[in-house]
Amino acid sequence: MAITTIMNEHERLSILHCLAAMNDYGTNNSIIQSVCAQFGNNMTMDKIGSHLHWLEEQGLLKLDNHESYTLAYLTQRGMDVEQGRATQPGVKRPGPR
């Protein structure tokens, strides 16, 4: 498996972890960037934006785009993938808790 594929899977899972940790299961792209960096996944805003749109296409989150920022909200399917109850190709399956 290519390193890029592995990195993408880890980064997408860290985004789901970030959203699952928020009180309303959502936050803005800047906070996502900071939290993912704490998980060891340092990403540019462009890369976060690409992952957010990909995750939305898969039905794992919903986006609310504004002029200077984007809000992302976890869906029930996204929560299922984040917790390992469901799998999604392109997102790393979390380890046992």
Delimit the domains of the chain by residue range: 3-83
- Give per-residue pLDDT as tens, 25-55: 999 999 999 999 999 999 999 999 999 999 9
Q: Residue 94 has what pLDDT?
A: 94
Question: Which CATH number, 3.30.930.10, 1.10.10.10, 1.10.150.120, 1.20.120.1200, labels domain 3-83?
Answer: 1.10.10.10
Please list, residue by residue across 53-89, b when 16 or more beta carbons sit within 10 angstroms of its beta carbon and e when fewer do. ebbbebebbeeeeeeeebbbbbbeebbbbbeeeeebe
The confidence band for 97, taking pLDDT boundaries of 50, 70 and 90, is: confident
